[in-house]
Amino acid sequence: MILLAASEPFAAGDHRLCYRHPHDENLCIKVNRQGKAQMLKARAPFYKQFRPVDSFDDNQIEYRAFQQSAILRNTPEIWRHIPRCYGWVETDIGRGLVTDYYPSEKLNAPATTLEEYLKKFAVTPQLSSALKEFSAYLRRYLLLTKNLMPHNLLVLQEQEGMLRLVLIDGFGLSTIFPVAKYVPAAARRHVEKRLDWLDYRIAWEISDRKISWRDTEKKFTKGGNHIYV
């Protein structure tokens, strides 16, 4: 049993608390926030109410999404933009999912998220190259993801000022009929839509944000200009 209750998480999302692994500094352990899955089930539309609580468990959803064919093929390059997932550990605050941890160059801090980076620097030429590399990777491997949220992408510093993006959350599909899992043409359409969406979201992140994201997103259409990705 791994003891986490007395330690501070290094970060927290809406669904999960993220801890450094006490036995290995290169790993992190993600644990669901207490009662989150039950709450999501209670709020779900009626047609999802018959599903078990497990199907609302973010860690469980992510673990399953790591079993998608693009990842199981285990091509060495696949690990360039996603962490490895090492499965489950028992902790004193519930079951934890273990993945690689990405530090920043600053001592004792996790890597910067794309959201933080855009706030500070907007779209630099280095970021633009990193976005292009990441989108080529998604297209090549047809990695299936939910909407690519800037707070779920980390921006890693590489040699000579280069940047590398790593997706740490939001794997899998949120669609009811997972056609993209089985039909390559549907997977390609799925990936293109996620890239269009990311492009659109980045434009909003660096805008004056006078219009809320909620209203901006209503005007999202597939096949918009690829400015960044």
Q: Which residues bind ligand ATP (CB under 6 A)?
A: 11, 13-16, 18, 28, 30, 58, 83, 99-102, 110-111, 113, 149, 151-152, 154, 168-169
Nearer to Mg ion, 13 or 103 (CB): 13
Of ligand ATP, Mg ion, none, which one does residue 145 interact with (CB within 5 to 8 Å by kind)?
none
d(CA 27, CA 38): 27
Contact between 68 and 56 under an 8 Å Cβ cutoff? The reply is no
User: Of 143, 197, 189, 140, whose CA–CA distance to 166 is shortest?
Assistant: 143
What is the tally of helices (H) and strands (E) in the chain? 7, 8
Of Mg ion, ligand ATP, none, which one does residue 187 interact with (CB within 5 to 8 Å by kind)?
none
Nearer to Mg ion, 102 or 179 (CB): 102
Nearer to ligand ATP, 149 or 187 (CB): 149
Q: Where are the beta strands (DSSP E) in 15-135?
A: 16-21, 24-32, 85-91, 94-100, 112-113
Tokens of 80: 């360039």
Closest residue by beta carbon to Mg ion = 169
Minimal distance in Å, beta carbon 151 to ligand ATP?
Answer: 4
Question: Could you tell me which stretch among 6-14, 122-130, 140-148, 188-196 binds Mg ion (CB under 5 A)?
Answer: 6-14
Binding mask 35-74 for Mg ion (x = CB under 5 A): ----------------------------------------
Of the candidates 13, 94, 110, 178, which one interacts with Mg ion according to CB under 5 A? Answer: 13
Of ligand ATP, Mg ion, none, which one does residue 150 interact with (CB within 5 to 8 Å by kind)?
none
Of the candidates 62, 169, 196, 199, which one interacts with Mg ion according to CB under 5 A? Answer: 169
